Amino acid sequence: MIRIDVITAFPEYFRGPFGESMIRQAQRRVGLEINLWDLRDFTHDAHRTVDDTPYGGGAGMVMKPEPFFEALEYLFGQGLPREQTKIIYPSPQGKVFTNRVAQKLAQEKSLVFLCGHYKGIDQRVIDYWVDEEISIGDYVLTGGELATVVIVDAVIRWIPGVVGDIESVKSDSFEGDLLDAPYYTRPEIYRGLKVPDVLRSGNHQAIERWRLEKRIEKTRAVRPDLYKKFVEKNKL
Ligand code: 6GU
C-alpha cells in the first residue's frame, strides 16, 4: 500500500493522466491512494499568490516558501507520518531518475511531490523539507507537474499487482543494462513485411537467444553508455 500526495498550483493538470490507464488501475487494484493538494489553498492573499521576484535580481519568478510550508504542516498535522514519508522535489537540479530509483521509491509507504514552476521553489523549502531532488533528464520543462506524472507512472509499475505479470516489468528495457527486444503480432505478413521466422519456430531456446542478440545489437547502436555497462558487468 502506497500513498502519494502531490502539492501543486495546477491540480487540474493531473486529472487526465491520473484518471487513466495504469494509474487508475493501480488505484483500484492495489489500493494506491493519490491526493492532489492545491498550493493556492495555502495562501492568504486575495490573489492567492504563489510566486515572487528573486532576491539578487534576474529574470523569472520564484515560488514562495510559505504555501509549501503550510501545506506540508497541514498534511503531517492530519496524521501522515513524516518519518515514513519521502518528500520529492522534481527539478532539473536533481539526481537523474532511473528505473532503479523508481523501483526503490515503490517500496516507500508515502511519497509527497512538490511541484515547482518558473525558476523553482525557494531554497529554504528544499533545505528544510525535501528528501530527494530528482530530475527526469537533461532538458528543462516549464513545471514539475509533468515530471511528477512521469515519476509516479514509472514508480507504480513496480508495485506488485499493478502490471498483471511482474515478469513483464522485469524484462522491459534497462533490466540487465539492455534495451528491450523488438516485438511483433499478427498478421504474419503485412504489406509484404514478414515477422522473423525464429519467432514462429516454437524453439524457445532459439527465441531467447535471438531476443538477447537483438537487445545487445540495439543497445550498442543507440546507447553506447548502457552498452559499456553491460559489457563490463558481464565481463565480455
Ligand atoms: Cl523534474 N522539472 C522540470 N521543471 N524540468 C525538468 C525536470 C524536472 N527534469 C528534467 N527537466
pLDDT tens, position by position, 147-202: 999 999 999 999 988 887 888 888 788 888 999 999 999 999 999 999 999 999 99
With cell 530528482, the residue in question is 134
Residue 161 domain-assigned (yes or no): no
Give me the pLDDT at residue 94, please: 98
Under 8 Å between Cβ of 93 and 133: yes
Cα 143 to averaged position of ligand 1 atoms, centre (Å):
7
DSSP secondary structure code for residue 5 in this structure: E
26 versus 224: the higher-pLDDT residue is 224
Q: Are residues 47 and 108 in the same domain?
A: yes
The residue type at 55: Y
Report pLDDT digits (tens) over 36-84: 999 999 999 999 999 999 999 999 999 999 999 999 999 999 999 999 9
- At 35, list the grid cell: 491526493
C-alpha grid cell, residue 25: 488501475
Inside any domain, residue 14 = yes
d(CA 102, CA 90): 13
With a 6 Å cutoff on the Cβ, whether 19 touches ligand 1 is: no
Regarding whether 179 and 149 lie in a shared domain, the answer is no
- The answer on 148 and 199 residing in a single domain is no
**Does 98 lie in the same domain as 51?**
yes
Q: Is residue 83 domain-shared with residue 135, that is, in the same domain?
A: yes
Cβ atoms < 10 Å from Cβ of 53: 12
Average pLDDT in the 96-117 region?
97
CB 138 within 8 A of CB 93: no
Q: pLDDT band at 229, cuts 50/70/90?
A: very high
Q: Would you say the CB of residue 17 lies under 6 angstroms from ligand 1? A: no
> Best substitution site from 141, 146, 148, 155 to test ligand 1's pocket, by max atoms within 8 Å of Cβ?
141
The CATH number covering residue 203 comes to 1.10.1270.20
Residue 218 belongs to domain spanning: 173-234
- Write down which residue in 106, 121, 156 finishes a domain: 156
How far is ligand 1, taken at its centre, from the CA of residue 103, in Å?
20
Per-residue model confidence (pLDDT) at position 80? 98
pTM: 0.94
Give me ligand 1 centre to Cα 98, in Å.
14
Residue 221 has pLDDT above 90, yes or no: yes
Task: Answer yes or no: do 182 and 144 share one domain.
Answer: no
96 touches ligand 1 (CB under 6 Å): no
Give the pLDDT confidence score for residue 223 in this predicted structure: 98
Phi-psi sector, 30: left (phi>0), alpha (psi -120 to 50), beta: alpha
Instruction: Say yes or no to pLDDT of 127 above 90.
Output: yes
Q: Identify the residue whose C-alpha is closest to ligand 1 atom 8.
A: 91
Dist. CA 142 → ligand 1 center (Å):
8
Please give the tally of structural domains in the chain. Answer: 2
One domain for residues 151 and 212: no
By most ligand atoms within 8 Å of CB, the mutation choice from 89, 105, 113, 135 for ligand 1 is 135
Q: Of all protein residues, whose CA lies closest to atom 2 belonging to ligand 1?
A: 91
* Residue 150 alpha carbon to ligand 1 centre in Å: 10
Q: Which of 105, 128, 156 is the last residue of a domain?
A: 156
5 contact partners, CB below 8 Å, separation of at least 6: 34, 35, 36, 37, 75, 80, 110, 111, 112, 113
- 181 and 151 both lie in a single domain: no
| pLDDT value of residue 116 | 97
Asked if residue 21 has pLDDT above 80, the reply is no
Q: Is any atom of ligand 1 closer than 6 Å to the C-beta of 141?
A: yes
Q: What's the CA gap between 56 and 78, in Å, rounded?
A: 37
Specify which residues 111 forms β-bridges with: 4, 86
